[in-house]
Structure 1
Amino acid sequence: MENSGSKQHKDEVSMKHSKSPFDLIVNQIWRNKSFSERWPQSSMARFFKITENSNEAACVTEQSKEGKTSLDSENKENISKISDKLKSTDPESSATRWDQVVEFMERLGKEPDPKCMDLNNSSLTANDAVNLAALLPNLPNLEELDLSWNELIGGTLKVLTNHMQHVSQLRVLVLGSCRLSELDLSAIGDWIQLLPNVEEIDLSWNSDLGGNLCLFTQKLRAGTKLKILKLVDCNLTAEDGTALGQALSVISKLEVLDLSMNEDVGSGLEVLFRELAHVPHLQVLKLHLCGLRRANINNLGDALEYVPCMKKLVFSCNDIGGGFQETAAHLSNFKQLQVFDVHRCSLTEDDVSALTQILPLLSSLQVLNLALNKNIGNSLRHLIARLRFLPRLTTLVASNCNLSKESIVELADTIPSLTELEILDLSWNKCIGGNLGLLLQMLQISTRLRVLKLCSCNLTGQDLESLVSVARAGFLENLEDLDLIYNNTVNDQSWAMFFQEISGLKDLSELDIGLRPLTHRACDPWITIFLDSLVRFPSLTEFRMHHWVLSASQRKLLETFNRDSKRNILFHY
């Protein structure tokens, strides 16, 4: 009788010699030097059901230096053979191939969809990139591919190049935060030539793209259907801005360009501004925190006449104060402009005066953000008066603008004309304190308000009384978010009155009455009254009360309320 050791040895030999050619192909690829030692074996690799004693995991961890990620021609051939193998073992044609996709996605806890492959935040590794390459021939109708937030696939995208031709219907490609390398960027450029229908590319949050964008832009060809390009926080340089500007002539269908959070790109945007004539359909231009200066915005002025379809213009967090005096005149051509964001732009009173002149011409404007421009308070009165000519305005943000009492009075007179207003943010304007009643009286004509932010406005007990009065009358019935944080000027008795008497906020879901940092006050005078009032706020899900001091018994009251009332309000304290 054979002993157990001998039998086990024969079984191992048998298993070793029974491996299929398909297994050998996969192993040969996984031995390639292109994958880093730090990449772990992924659960996705099990999709190919390689025999248990094969050494694919060891092959991955024994690779050469990190960063050597391109596959040689032999392995590219092998990947093609994998696809052929999948087809040749497919006796039931498309049904079997789709089963393979289903298994692939289900292993990741994802829903399979023949038109949309969402692998966002799936912990993909280099091995998974190989597996995905083999799957692409099974997805001829794929329209969207999202590989974002998978940092371990950085440096491996070249492996997909030979198979992108199988997904020629692809319209959307998202590769945000994948730690893309120069080789990846070049590979994506090659993909574009195989994807005639691609309309959207998002490469945001890949910091190594800085200084290398030309590897992508130089491969763009005339006739591309690219409409949306997002390069947020990619560490772009002035040279990258120039390279992108030079490429505008071949992406004439571009509608959305987002270069936000690239602080070093500003000085290189002069070429891009000059070439805007090639993208007459541009509708969205986002240049938030791009290192723009006054000279840059002056250069943009003349170019704006070439993009009359503009709907969203974002210049926020750029030091462009004094640059709008000439540029503002060109904005008058934007009959379709819906969003204008110039918060924290160091605007001057001269800038505001120039904007005031053209504001009535922007009849489609829905969102106006002037926040954090502290030097424009005196001139805002006249601009606010012109808001009455914007019947579609839904959002007005004027926080921390050093508003004067005259501006508040003007806003009160203007509010009845803003019948579509849904969001009003007047935070960090101290003059609101004691004058809130002026505004709230006029809100009785407009009942669409969903968000009201009055942070750090030096509110008084009288202001809270005005708020209670308007709410009880039913003129804030659509309010969802009420932010009263950092109003330490309200005394405890006024908070008790507020919770005891306020009603009519049936849609309120968020309420914040937190105190300033380093401040601590007991909430004994009103906490019980507040809990009793919660039955009048059936939609409340978050109550923030940072820096209010609760005793152990009061914390217990909050927990008991959630348990007994079968609600789940998040109490932040």
Structure 2
Amino acid sequence: MEHSVGYIAKADEYYTVKSRSELMFEKQSERHGFTTRVTHAALVKPQDDGGVTDQLYSEMKPAVDGANYIIKHMRNKNEYEDFLVQIRIHGSFTSSRPGPEAATQPQPITLPPCFAASAESERDVGWGRVCVFLKRLGKKADSKSLSLAHCDLTATELLELVQVLPSLTALTELDVSSNKEVGGVVHLLVSALPVTQMRRLPFNSCYMSNESFTALALAVSYLRTVDISWCKVVGGHLALLLDALQPSVVSELRLCSCELTTDDMQHLAAVCRRGCLSSLRALDLSYNSLVGDNGWCSLFAAGGLGSLEDVDVSLRPSTSAPCSAWLPALLRALPQMPALARLAMQRWTADCQEREQLRYCLKKRSVLLERDPDLQDTSSACKGNSQESLEESQPEE
């Protein structure tokens, strides 16, 4: 395609300037080694076309460049398809040369040149980074984990990844979090995974669609870790995910900034009462300011969180709200959380007595309390409270 303009110009010259007989004699002379015979047509200079040729070239160049781009893209696609065929046949991602035992061992695969980019450059994103990652780590068919977080993957590149997944038959962990453009095709990724053996599949900051969120509910019953933070589609639809949970399976549930509602929190409380979260160790409900006091009260009064070690109910840095309505429910629930080691409730405000009760109750348990510095005890009245009065106000353990 790059020489099309030259061919057209040459043909135009032959047609309008030189006669057919002159062309025949000229080519015959060159073929027999004679000096090229200069014809009268060669001595005639073409007339000035007033820039028509340049204008024609400027108009045709974008089309030629586009055609060249398509050809290059198709060549890269063919190389990639050949690469996938090798994966399906040999089931290996290593890049070393085969040894004498290659007849019985899986054959190594060399990545196509179009994907063999250097990961040192900041421009290496998307599928090129994925392939470099696989090549450098020597991923094989028996690989159990694959992390592609913060790779700037696009939806198209995730679809290419879907074609590779069937070769990773032992995969139990796949991290594609913080790839904002893949949320709309997560359902295709889930359908290609060995769902029954998956244990960790975080999709935080992936901007999932409704269809993708529904597909994730099909796989959540097998996961040990569920992280869909910063996915706004979860708000108002958390029941779809929670109803698929199996008892004593999930150990980490992260729902930060999911726009959860009071109904979502009450449904979470119902799941806790059923014992489905008895093995839960980490619970992140931070940055969900739409949850009302009734939602928090329901959660802490539900019980069923005996294994919980870390809980975060903090608000966004730009907001604050009083916790007086649900703090008594939290204080009563603390004795039922013997494993609790960290409680984060930043931006929640409380009066002097409530802060002192919470501090004293957690101090006896050596629980790390994270709250804003400006909420620390500054009142002399708080410091003057006696330890005896605090003990009387604590729930019986």
TM-score between the two structures when normalised by the length of structure 1? 0.43
Task: Tell me the equivalent position of 1:357.
Answer: 218
Q: Offset of 1:480 from its aligned partner?
A: 0.4
Task: Tell me the equivalent position of 1:408.
Answer: 265
In structure 2, the gaps of 5 or more residues are 1-92, 100-110, 392-397
Q: Offset of 1:370 from its aligned partner?
A: 0.8
Using the alignment, how far apart are the partners of 1:277 and 1:220 within structure 2? 9
1:498 paired to 2:374: no
Aligned amino acid, residue 401 of structure 1: C
Task: Tell me the equivalent position of 2:296.
Answer: 436
Q: Offset of 1:220 from its aligned partner?
A: 3.4
CA 1:521 to 1:284, structure 2 compared with 1: closer, same or farther past 3 Å?
A: closer
Q: Offset of 1:269 from its aligned partner?
A: 5.4
Task: Tell me the equivalent position of 2:54.
Answer: none
Alignment of 1:452-531 (within 5 A): 452-456=311-315, 458=321, 460-471=323-334, 474-488=335-349, 490-499=350-359, 502=361, 506-508=365-367, 510-514=368-372, 523-524=378-379, 528=383
Q: Offset of 1:239 from its aligned partner?
A: 9.4
1:343 paired to 2:198: no
Using the alignment, how far apart are the partners of 1:479 and 1:505 within structure 2? 12
Task: Tell me the equivalent position of 2:253.
Answer: 396
Q: Offset of 1:335 from its aligned partner?
A: 2.8
Is the 1:478–1:506 Cα contact (8 Å) retained in structure 2?
no
Using the alignment, how far apart are the partners of 2:312 and 2:121 within structure 1? 26
In percent, how many aligned pairs have the same letter? 19
Structure 2 SS opposite 1:329: helix
1:323 paired to 2:180: no
Q: Offset of 1:352 from its aligned partner?
A: 0.6
Using the alignment, how far apart are the partners of 2:385 and 2:201 within structure 1? 39
Structure 2 SS opposite 1:461: coil
Q: Offset of 1:373 from its aligned partner?
A: 1.6
Is the 1:479–1:505 Cα contact (8 Å) retained in structure 2?
no
Alignment of 1:67-216 (within 5 A): none
Structure whose residues are more often helix by fraction: 2
Listed one character per residue, the Cα deviations across residues 201-229 of structure 1 (whole Å, up to 9, x for unaligned) are xxxxxxxxxxxxxxxx9983346xxxxxx
Using the alignment, how far apart are the partners of 1:526 and 1:220 within structure 2? 72
Listed one character per residue, the Cα deviations across residues 237-262 of structure 1 (whole Å, up to 9, x for unaligned) are x99992289xxxxxxxxxxxxx9997
Using the alignment, how far apart are the partners of 1:404 and 1:428 within structure 2? 12
Q: Offset of 1:380 from its aligned partner?
A: 2.5
Task: Tell me the equivalent position of 1:377.
Answer: 235
Q: CA RMSD in A?
A: 3.9
Picking from 167, 170, 175, the partner of 1:309 is 170
Q: Offset of 1:526 from its aligned partner?
A: 6.7
Is the 2:162–2:192 Cα contact (8 Å) retained in structure 1?
yes
Which structure would you say has the larger RCO, counting Cα contacts within 8 Å and 6 or more residues apart? 2
Using the alignment, how far apart are the partners of 1:452 and 1:526 within structure 2? 29
Aligned amino acid, residue 376 of structure 1: V
CA 1:263 to 1:244, structure 2 compared with 1: closer, same or farther past 3 Å?
A: closer
Using the alignment, how far apart are the partners of 1:296 and 1:385 within structure 2? 32
Alignment of 1:260-279 (within 5 A): 264-268=124-128, 279=140
Using the alignment, how far apart are the partners of 2:121 and 2:343 within structure 1? 30
Picking from 111, 115, 120, the partner of 1:242 is 115
Using the alignment, how far apart are the partners of 2:305 and 2:341 within structure 1? 15
CA 1:414 to 1:505, structure 2 compared with 1: closer, same or farther past 3 Å?
A: farther
Structure 2 SS opposite 1:285: strand
Listed one character per residue, the Cα deviations across residues 276-315 of structure 1 (whole Å, up to 9, x for unaligned) are 9982111111111011111222222232222121122111
Aligned amino acid, residue 464 of structure 1: L
Q: Offset of 1:503 from its aligned partner?
A: 5.8
Structure 2 SS opposite 1:414: helix
Task: Tell me the equivalent position of 1:294.
Answer: 155
Is the 2:117–2:128 Cα contact (8 Å) retained in structure 1?
no
Is the 1:391–1:418 Cα contact (8 Å) retained in structure 2?
yes
Task: Tell me the equivalent position of 1:449.
Answer: 308
Is the 2:262–2:292 Cα contact (8 Å) retained in structure 1?
no
Is the 2:283–2:310 Cα contact (8 Å) retained in structure 1?
yes
Using the alignment, how far apart are the partners of 1:324 and 1:218 within structure 2? 27
Using the alignment, how far apart are the partners of 2:120 and 2:369 within structure 1? 31
In structure 1, the gaps of 5 or more residues are 1-216, 224-237, 246-258, 537-573
CA 1:520 to 1:371, structure 2 compared with 1: closer, same or farther past 3 Å?
A: same
Aligned amino acid, residue 385 of structure 1: D
1:417 paired to 2:280: no
Listed one character per residue, the Cα deviations across residues 23-61 of structure 1 (whole Å, up to 9, x for unaligned) are xxxxxxxxxxxxxxxxxxxxxxxxxxxxxxxxxxxxxxx
Using the alignment, how far apart are the partners of 1:278 and 1:346 within structure 2? 28
TM-score between the two structures when normalised by the length of structure 2? 0.60
Aligned amino acid, residue 326 of structure 2: D
CA 1:532 to 1:243, structure 2 compared with 1: closer, same or farther past 3 Å?
A: farther
Structure 2 SS opposite 1:386: coil
CA 1:239 to 1:222, structure 2 compared with 1: closer, same or farther past 3 Å?
A: closer
Aligned amino acid, residue 342 of structure 2: D
Q: Offset of 1:346 from its aligned partner?
A: 1.4
CA 1:296 to 1:401, structure 2 compared with 1: closer, same or farther past 3 Å?
A: same
Q: Offset of 1:483 from its aligned partner?
A: 0.6
Using the alignment, how far apart are the partners of 1:459 and 1:339 within structure 2? 35
Using the alignment, how far apart are the partners of 2:148 and 2:254 within structure 1? 19
Using the alignment, how far apart are the partners of 1:281 and 1:293 within structure 2? 26
Using the alignment, how far apart are the partners of 2:269 and 2:94 within structure 1? 54
Is the 2:229–2:258 Cα contact (8 Å) retained in structure 1?
yes
Structure 1 SS opposite 2:253: strand
Aligned amino acid, residue 452 of structure 1: V
Q: Offset of 1:440 from its aligned partner?
A: 1.4
Q: Based on CA coordinates, which of the two structures has the bigger radius of gyration?
A: 2
**Aligned residue pairs, count:** 278
CA 1:429 to 1:218, structure 2 compared with 1: closer, same or farther past 3 Å?
A: closer
Using the alignment, how far apart are the partners of 2:219 and 2:120 within structure 1? 26
Structure 2 SS opposite 1:310: coil
CA 1:326 to 1:264, structure 2 compared with 1: closer, same or farther past 3 Å?
A: same
CA 1:292 to 1:309, structure 2 compared with 1: closer, same or farther past 3 Å?
A: same
